[in-house]
Every structure is written in structure tokens, then in C-alpha cells.
Amino acid sequence: MQQDWRLRLPTTGQITDRVMFKATPSSPEAPFAKGRVWLLRAADGYKAWEGWSDAGGYYTATGLELGVEYIAVGIDPYRNHKATGAGPVVATEAAP
């Protein structure tokens, strides 16, 4: 990924994580498949990345500022669950 010169820190960071949901407060967590995921920069709420989770709830966000904290927001495109935020998660250099 090339540097995004609009941002002051290197934009070679990445976050690989998993989004989960709970159907009820007492139920176990389950993978949130095909969920819309936003990564918001924790410092100011800037939406730095948007993508989708796979069938296992995993996503990989790229082009992020290294060392910056982000809040992951899971959004249900089918509107069965409320949007939920979690984090912070920190962007690190992608493994070669």
C-alpha cells in the first residue's frame, strides 16, 4: 500500500481482527458474518476504513496510520442487530 500524503503518519498499517455478536446478553458470542465494518480514528472519529467481514467474522483493514488507535464499529446490513463499537485497536506494520 502506498503512502496517503493527506495523513501525517505512515499509512502502511493494518488491522486484522474479528467481529462478533451476542443475540442476547446471556448467549455466547458468535462470528458476525458479512457485517459491515468501519474503523474510526479514536482521536477524532475520522472514518479511516470501511469493509466487510467474511463468513467467520474476520476482516483485514489496510492503509491505516501506523501506531494509531481505532474503534471498530460493526454494522448489520440486514438491520437485525444494533451497530456496536469496540476497541481501541492499533494499526501495526503488515507482515511481509
pLDDT of residue 80: 78
Q: What single letter denotes the amino acid at residue 83?
A: A
> What is the C-alpha separation between 28 and 36, in angstroms, rounded?
21
What mean pLDDT comes out for the span 7-31? Answer: 84
| DSSP category for residue 28 | P
Q: How confident is the model at residue 69 (pLDDT cuts 50, 70, 90)?
A: very high
Specify the pTM.
0.81
Closest to 69 (Cα-Cα) out of 93, 45, 49, 42: 42
pLDDT of residue 53: 95
